[in-house]
Structure 1
């Protein structure tokens, strides 16, 4: 197994609870399986995954990549496991001369809609960004809420709905910012908006609170940050979610996401695949995983525009709110030159 560290810059700093992110540092992985090389990417995001140092240490300890996926040695380092899992899956798909998506599922999508993300600005700026996104071809918008008071956020959502009309799907994402009372206020105020779902209204570990919100309101509830705090099986058992927002980098790779998706389907819970602002190898991996799911819904994969640099040209750019799944072998990208 070969490793190469990389850095990709962001177009502008991204504010998070842990400070501004100005670049993404990761490790590109090349794995040979039965004489065929596959590629994977580990781009850790502390809070979601292990640190870069822990990721590097875990990857350097791998002697048999295939065995490492089964023996549990990478379970505590999901970004490292993601890189190995993706690289092994890529190699196997290449050896079969199949795309990764078609190797992961009997039937897969050839293209998928993706959502645009609208930031938590004032009402006028929020509406302008939403209208611009729809004009660009997006028919699903995720609006960030939670940075302002619930009444202001509700006003923003109502204004967006008025501006984009009834045919655009709207999601709201609070990133765990609220308590139960505030979430109740918001959900009552936006009932007429008919949100597709409200994502992570409460802190990550408050599964019981999310379950109560589901019982009291018609708006579906999605869990995102909770999947970094508790096992997906616990989130499903708690009846806290109508939708799970699954990040392959945080869950440990394509195989882990597909396992979660199967359990979610059995519990009548939907799945949306998103990235952690990854470089092109991991973004493509997430796209193929989303394409392998039976449901066709908008996924959170339109994150390439956040990067100023990347590992290679992106073979699956967003066009009119849709990403086409590469049909070539494996991921549909060759980054072997990165190892020269």
Structure 2
């Protein structure tokens, strides 16, 4: 497999505040390679704190001259974004050679592959009225699930926002994401208030710090809340999460996992332990975002996934082959990740 790597730099529409600092652009690399006459396209879009740095990603990709061998030797194990690009390009090429969509190729002939994947809308920290309006608007355009950011304001204010959101859209599934902002006591107060108000949540995502496995396990045991872990997976092994019973749901980012193959391997292990998986992006460009959609589709009947992130970018590498419509994304039929949609990319 011959390899060509091109850098890109995509601005966001608006700078995003995160626990690891603001994000105002996404820099990365497009990797192209040919396997047995079929070209594959991969994307590496590092996100420090989740993956290696952009410079380390570039250096890792410079080591790759045979992607199949690179995946087998482990030289990319400390560079998950670089490994994602290599893995995706390899599987895209093989799927194209087989004349199959990436989802069908990854899932295998006997797997149930979804044709459309539901995606959640996201509402950031906002006033009570702004939250209610945003949730109502998301429901009006077809979203069945909305994830609300919590943990920035006081617990009582977040409860007010959730009450307003439920009144604004009674039939929409609500998720709350604290991004590890709370102490154990704050998380317990939140759980008690949810119960007192008769509110229901699909799940509460990352209420405590990433290393607090025992605390998350206790919240699961002591409350009626389903607990999802996201940031934890960047610093704690999946085996440790599953063995301690710390989660009902794993939030899987293929870029941080190191590629489609590793993401699906984790999802399979989670399913065996009775834990659900939700696939999301790290605000990736269109190649990786579309691949994440295929990965979600291989889950058969996936829950709402965090893939509706295209609008965060001011521009992209190519037109989106799977835009969000009525709260869902249609999986490209192939071959590969998106047929010929990525034949020309704006790098």
- Of 309, 315, 337, the match for 1:309: 315
Change in 2 beyond 3 A, CA 1:12/1:339 = closer
Unaligned ranges ≥5, structure 1: none
Structure 2 Cα separation of the partners of residues 17 and 9 of structure 1? 20
* 1:122 aligns to 2:127 (yes or no): yes
Pairing of 1:211-230 with structure 2 (within 5 A): 211-230=217-236
Give the structure 2 partner of residue 20 of structure 1. 22
* 1:181 aligns to 2:185 (yes or no): yes
Check whether the contact 1:171–1:197 (CA below 8 A) recurs between aligned residues.
yes
- Of 196, 203, 223, the match for 1:197: 203
Structure 1 Cα separation of the partners of residues 272 and 345 of structure 2? 41
2:30 alignment partner, SS class: strand
Give the structure 1 partner of residue 246 of structure 2. 240
Give the structure 2 partner of residue 260 of structure 1. 266
Check whether the contact 1:4–1:339 (CA below 8 A) recurs between aligned residues.
no
Report the alpha carbon displacement of residue 339 of structure 1 after superposing the two structures with TM.
8.7
Aligned residue pair count:
339
Unaligned ranges ≥5, structure 2: none
1:19 alignment partner, SS class: coil
Pairing of 1:285-304 with structure 2 (within 5 A): 285-304=291-310
2:42 alignment partner, SS class: strand
Check whether the contact 2:321–2:341 (CA below 8 A) recurs between aligned residues.
no
Report the alpha carbon displacement of residue 107 of structure 1 after superposing the two structures with TM.
2.2
Q: Deviations over 1:136-176 (max 9, x none)?
A: 110100000000111111111111111111x2111000000
Give the structure 2 partner of residue 326 of structure 1. 332
Residue range with higher mean Cα deviation, 188-197 or 258-267: 188-197
Give the structure 1 partner of residue 290 of structure 2. 284
Give the structure 2 partner of residue 335 of structure 1. 342
Check whether the contact 1:277–1:304 (CA below 8 A) recurs between aligned residues.
yes
- Of 101, 104, 109, the match for 2:103: 101
Structure 1 Cα separation of the partners of residues 114 and 42 of structure 2? 22
TM-score (norm 1): 0.98
